[in-house]
Homo-oligomer: A and B are copies of this chain.
Amino acid sequence: MREIMAIEALREAFQEEMRNDKRVVLIGEDIGSKWHGAFKVTQGLAAEFGEERVRDTPISEAAIIGTAVGAAMTGLRPVAEIMFGDLIALAMDAICNQAAKIRYMFGGQVKVPVVIRTPFGGGKSLAAHHSSSFEAWFMHAAGLKIAMPSTPYDSKGLLKTAIRNIDDPVCFFEHKLCYLLKGHVPEEEYFIPFGEADIKREGADVTIVATFLMVHKSLKVAEEMAKEGISVEVIDPRTLVPFDIKTIINSVKKTGRVVVVSEDIKRAGITAEIASQIMEEGGFDYLDAPIKRVASLNTPIPFSPPLEDYVIPNEKRIAKAVKEVLA
């Protein structure tokens, strides 16, 4: 079976969707034929589809999103890119006050089928302006759907769905350290629906809910634990909005123990929402121990490798949490 990297899977999704529909246009800084995107996701797209449809922009994050929103309101299906997740802070109004609210404010008169892509995450010693994970901000903004694939397979399937099948604004978040991971990706067209969590590994003793790179770290922990006879189930929600709480609750009914793992900082992060939903949606009665959250420490992301490693969750911290909920 073919194994490719996530950046290739994303690129393939773009190729298929841009061939399929002329209304799909890409807008972002250095995504064209000079640079091919900061992470080379868009390599070759300008060559195939032309500069009119793969548009390099000035350094104007608000205008990148604003323009995409205006285009989406009037018949295009734009995909806008913010080069680094931290910089999305410059486009918060365009995303959370405009893209997210326009359909609602206008009483459903228009739709805004825009996809907003950006990479989050640390681990590359890029320091506090190029390593943040802000997905919780968007989960807290009514009107945005959110995908955050952890594998090449999910990357392609979710991106295709976001572009073709969802008429609402989608925040499509990627993770810098997931870009080069390889995985099985079918050559045929396929779509992954939003709102369907994926059980990345089945298990009976503990449920880990994890996103992005933490899925992979959790899988490693699960493997280690297996050797000790502990059976860990790893669930990747894949989309935060809509959120597939059912799959998670079903797992909790089985395991009675939950660890939620995310790279965003802990305070008011997505682990808080996930843990709260588990409690509210039926988990409480099945839980044998309080849910543990494993997330980045409540600091900006530091530059130096030993510091960065300390702040971002690693296998050791995940394993420790698993042991604690089992204790």
Contact = CB atoms under 8 A, between A and B. Distances in A.
Interface of A: 86-87, 89-90, 92-93, 96-97, 100-101, 104-105, 127-129, 132, 134, 136-137, 139-140, 142-143, 241, 264-265, 267-273, 275-276, 279-280, 283-285, 289-293, 298-300, 302-303
Copies of this chain, complex-wide, total 2
A132 B100 CA distance: 13
Contacts of A289: 284
Contacts of A137: 137, 140
A279 B291 contact: yes
B290 A284 contact: yes
13 contacts: A86-B97, A89-B93, A89-B96, A101-B300, A104-B300, A136-B136, A136-B140, A140-B269, A268-B268, A268-B272, A275-B276, A284-B290, A285-B290
A275 B279 CA distance: 9
Contacts of A100: 300
Contacts of A87: 93
A8 to B, nearest CB: 31
Nearest to A302: B104
B280 A293 contact: yes
A133 to B, nearest CB: 10
B140 A128 contact: no
B300 A265 contact: no
A67 to B, nearest CB: 17
A134 B302 CA distance: 26
B300 A142 contact: yes
Given A275-B275, A280-B292, 13 more contacts: A86-B97, A89-B93, A89-B97, A101-B129, A101-B300, A104-B299, A136-B268, A142-B299, A269-B273, A271-B276, A275-B279, A279-B290, A280-B293
Nearest to A143: B300
CB-CB nearest 8 A-B residue pairs: A284-B290, A139-B268, A140-B268, A89-B93, A89-B92, A272-B272, A101-B300, A92-B92
B290 A280 contact: yes
A182 B244 CA distance: 45
B89 A90 contact: no
A300 B105 contact: yes
A142 to B, nearest CB: 5
Contacts of A97: 86, 89, 128-129, 132
